[in-house]
Structure 1
Amino acid sequence: MEYADPVSDLLDPWGAFTTRLFRESCVFHKGNYVKDLSHLGRDLNRVIIIDNSPSVPVESWFDDTSDTELLDLLPFFERLSKVDDIYELLHRNISRIKSYIMRIKL
């Protein structure tokens, strides 16, 4: 079992997350390890990645059972699920997204 499986299971008890990518899913590209989402074979305008870098910014997670950061972001992810182009929304609203994340951490 991967370290993020318990968090993913908690966030997705219905099995809506059809694929989970972990460190082993990374490829080395231009000096960095990245997750190549093109291998998913899906319309990337409808794909989101939850990671500590460089997507929707979240803190790294290491067995802190009191951590609620991803649960706090559920309303945001629900909104994302209703748009046609996730990347356009993220790009257009990155400063507001960062402000929102900072507010929910306080």
Structure 2
Amino acid sequence: MHQVYVLKRPHVDEFLRRMGELFECVLFTASLSKYADPVADLLDKWGAFRARLFRESCVFHRGNYVKDLSRLGRDMNKLVIVDNSPASYIFHPDNAVPIASWFDDMSDRELLDLLPFFERLSKEDDIYTMLQEHKSS
């Protein structure tokens, strides 16, 4: 039995709620399920995550756990990964929305600032154009 403490990134509740309304969301983490599953239970009050994938679903590649999006069985033209580690999405960099790592800055607005982008993206057929524009802005 272990106690786990989690400091929630500012605006994560609003972000997850809205993403769950706009998209089919899948939690894909390199963490072990015994740790990440209880944390996801605490974070995901709205059932935004329709599926959860853990370390055993990752590919161990050059010392890193890589999230191979092709394993999701979805159209790659409609898949986006939000991650703070470029090594995690090295197989699919064109599908990535990089996000800064977060530790304890309670004034952080990154998730809140991403909401308008994802609201626009949800209406697009060609995600790659918008993703490229987002990365270059």
Q: What TM bracket, shorter-length normalisation?
A: 0.5 to 0.7
Q: Please say which of residues 3-12 and 66-75 is displaced more in the overlay.
A: 3-12
Is residue 83–residue 97 contact of structure 2 (8 Å, CA) maintained in 1? Answer: yes
Q: Measure the CA separation in 1 of the matches of 2:70 and 2:14.
A: 26
**CA–CA separation in structure 1 for the residues paired with 2:28 and 2:8:** 10
Counterpart check, 1:23 vs 2:30: yes
The answer to whether structure 1 residue 11 and structure 2 residue 43 are counterparts is no
Mapped to 1, the partners of 2:65 and 2:126 lie a distance apart of 25
Correspondence for 2:107 among 52, 59, 66? 66
* Distance in 1 of aligned mates of 2:103 and 2:74: 30
Q: Secondary structure at the match of 2:25?
A: coil
Aligned residues: 96
Percent identical pairs in the alignment equals 56
State the one-letter code of the partner of 2:17.
P
Q: TM-score, normalised by structure 1?
A: 0.66
Matched, 1:82 2:82: no
Unaligned runs of 5+ in 2: 32-53, 87-95
Where does the alignment leave 5 or more consecutive residues of structure 1 unmatched?
100-106
Report which of the two has the higher share of strand: 2
Which of structures 1 and 2 has the bigger CA Rg? 2
Aligned to 1:36: 68
Instruction: Give SS of 1:12's match.
Output: helix
Higher relative contact order structure (alpha carbons within 8 Å, sequence separation ≥ 6) = 2
Q: CA deviation at 1:29?
A: 2.4
CA 1:13–1:90 in 2, change beyond 3 Å: closer, same or farther?
closer
TM-score of the superposition, structure 2-length normalised?
A: 0.54
